Amino acid sequence: MNKPRISVGLGSCGMAAGANAVYRRLETILMEGKAEFELKRTSCLGMCYNEPLVAVLDERGEFLYGKIHEESAGKLIEEHILKGNTLKGHLVSGKDVFFGSQVKIALRNCGVIDPESIDEYIDTGGYEATRRIIREKISGAELTGIITRSGLRGRGGGGFSTGKKWEFARNINSDEKYLICNADEGDPGAFMDRSLLEGDPHAVIEGIIIAGLAIGANKGYVYVRAEYPLAVRRLKKAIKQAEEKGFLGKGVFQSRKDFKVEVFLGAGAFVCGEETALIHSIEGARGMPRHRPPFPAQSGLWGRPTVVNNVETLANVAWIIRNGADKYAAYGTENSKGTKVFALAGKVRRGGLVEVPMGVTINEIVFGIGGGIPEGREFKAVQLGGPSGGCLPASLAGTPIDFDSLRKTGAIMGSGGMIVMDETSCMVNIAKYFLEFTREESCGACTPCRLGTKHMLDILEDITEGRARKEDLDTLTDLAEGIKRTSLCGLGQTAPNPVITTLEYFRREYWEHISEKKCRAKQCRKLISYFIDPDKCAGCRVCYKKCPENAISGDKDKVHVISQDDCTRCGICIRACPRKYSAINCLPGQA
């Protein structure tokens, strides 16, 4: 190769870590003529824990550097480009471990190509599937059959057969049909859809076009929350580029088929992730779900047949058409084919975006790809599927990750959020956090969700603050089952899942909160106490000065005391105490 090529990961995670400044620094070096190299942008490679990431490709091979900041960018050029050395302390180790067991289909181009260049997408085989469909006159029935045979199921949480959903809409006669890409990603800790739209928007657009051709639609929408400005900007740019190439608009690939894609910005309501609420939002109404049937594939947007597919689902489509249904179905399990993208976050060493074949275990992701739990702490649980999912204990971490196996545990795969928890996580508090989220996001259309989640949250607050009674657990269980059974939409039907699973697998913690007034994880303020160890306190007065409630008393060079009546358990004192003393302890239980 003539010149080394340097790629900077400019996804949201990289930019938040300072990648923009790195890119500008490298750009300045290039403009000043201090070194010769090609500079390009990419997006998130998935290794979010090492951002900002910079890849260097030269005649010696490809080198990945992590935690490169503005100052070290100059050193990278000096050492790697000018001297031919590697930059010590930044060369990514464990790369093979992190990527080794991954199979990238949906994420195939993320972190590899410039997401703002349609030509780079085309160079990877992009839009070839659409071109072949038009050139070979592949019918909608054939396209639907290929997707059905691949075993692709919806990646947004429901897991319904994508091919069957397409077939329902295709078989209905209508003067107008619509395809909607659901990019309203709202789960706490989830960033799969955002990363896909930022890193490979053309893959999603091509999936939308193919889905539209399959069902006979001539218009598609991408419903994306306005809280994703980078994803929205790159998506709009990609649509414009596709229109200029003749891949979108009137006469797709010089055929008689027209297809237009429009971006619709959502206001960030979690309930609009439910397809009927999303459709109401596009129609200009309040985003509230409705009863089904009829299903959107029968009567959706403006009463016309409408297919709603998740971002990740659509990102797989062109690959399947290009490589064949059998190749996709070769990955995964009998009823859960292909791969799944997960946002790995929480108490894990290597957090980021991972794509693995269906059927790998939770342990393989947490300890293999994620590197295990930091600071030598114990793996306690994993939250799958966000507010709609469930908390599984470490004892079930050998469970294969597929639709059927997870459902048997009481959890669901959801859209792909995976939050790892260690011994410092209080499972009662975790359940309260997720229920608080769904209560806040409830549209209020049905009584079980509107009032039931409020009553459940009241009980959880009583438990975490030491006011609950033993019989409250029975009431909590009855409410959870009632809400799950009678709520109008998926939000309400799944809202109790974090509570149900924590009650099943961590019931002992609930009992400790109620009967012993103790939080073993030391997270519930009303159920912990702070004490100063008289054998370690040197009377340095640091904690005395830092305490915002004046709850600490004592003379200089004398042992200090914390007033339990005045202490609000904020934890400032324990953080302020000099490490050489470590005189303040946080203990589970009320003083």
Please write down the HEC assignment for all residues of 167-208.
HHHHCCCCCCCEEEEEECCCCCCCCHHHHHHHHCHHHHHHHH
> Using DSSP, how many helices (H) and how many strands (E) does the chain show?
24, 17
Res. 1: pLDDT tops 70: no
Sheet holding 390-393, edge to edge: 352-357, 339-346, 417-422, 379-384, 390-393
Using a pLDDT cut of 70, give the percent of the chain over it: 100
CA separation for the pair 536, 505 (Å, rounded): 39
pLDDT-derived band of residue 188, with 50, 70 and 90 as boundaries?
confident
Closest-CA residue to 418 (of 465, 360, 367, 351): 351
CB 43 within 8 A of CB 109: no
In this predicted structure, the answer to whether residue 591 has a pLDDT above a threshold of 80 is no
User: How much is the pLDDT for 93?
Assistant: 78
Q: What is the mean pLDDT of residues 229-243?
A: 98
Encode pLDDT of 98-115 as tens digits.
Answer: 998 999 999 999 999 999
Q: State pLDDT tens for residues 312-371.
A: 999 999 999 999 999 999 999 999 999 999 999 999 999 999 999 999 999 999 999 999
87 pLDDT higher than 70: yes
| 84-88 average pLDDT score | 94
The mean pLDDT of the chain is: 95
- Per residue in 29-77, pLDDT (tens digit) is 999 999 999 999 999 999 999 999 999 999 999 999 999 999 999 999 9
pLDDT band at 388 (very low <50, low <70, confident <90, very high): confident
The pLDDT of residue 95 is 78
> Once rounded to an integer, what is the mean pLDDT over residues 455-478?
96
- Cβ burial of 508 (10 Å; 0-12, 13-18, 19+) is exposed
pLDDT-derived band at 15 (thresholds 50, 70, 90) equals very high
* Contact between 125 and 322 (Cβ < 8 Å): yes
* Per-residue pLDDT tens digits for 272-293: 999 999 999 999 999 999 998 9
Domains (range + CATH), the chain: 5-93 (3.40.30.10), 118-329 (3.40.50.11540), 339-422 (3.10.20.600), 427-516 (1.20.1440.230), 527-588 (3.30.70.20)
pLDDT over threshold 90, residue 414: no
Lowest mean pLDDT among 88-97, 145-154, 254-263, 368-377: 88-97
Give the count of beta carbons closer than 10 Å to the beta carbon of residue 14.
29
Q: What is the pLDDT of residues 237-276, one digit of tens each?
A: 999 999 999 999 999 999 999 999 999 999 999 999 999 9
Residue 550 tokens read as 């004046």
pLDDT of 173 over the 70 cut: yes
Using one digit for the tens of pLDDT, what is the confidence trace for 510-547?
999 999 999 999 999 999 999 999 999 999 999 999 99
Instruction: Dump pLDDT digits (tens) for 191-228.
Output: 999 999 999 999 999 999 999 999 999 999 999 999 99
Residue 236 has pLDDT above 80, yes or no: yes
Cα 434 from Cα 388, distance rounded (Å): 9
Q: Which two tokens stand for residue 273?
A: 């992730």
Task: Give the pLDDT band (50/70/90) at residue 2.
Answer: confident
Quote the pLDDT of residue 413: 87
- Give the mean pLDDT of 458-486: 96
Pairing of strands 54-58, 61-65: antiparallel
The model's pTM: 0.94
Q: Using an 8 Å Cβ cutoff, are 273 and 289 in contact?
A: no
**Nearest Cα to 274, choosing from 448, 455, 415?**
415
DSSP class of residue 293 equals: S
Q: According to the model, what pLDDT value does residue 157 have?
A: 82
What CA–CA distances, in Å, run from 438 to 252, 269, 435, 476, 491? 42, 11, 5, 16, 7
Angle between helices 447-464 and 472-486 (to 10 degrees): 150
Instruction: Kindly report the length of the chain.
Output: 591
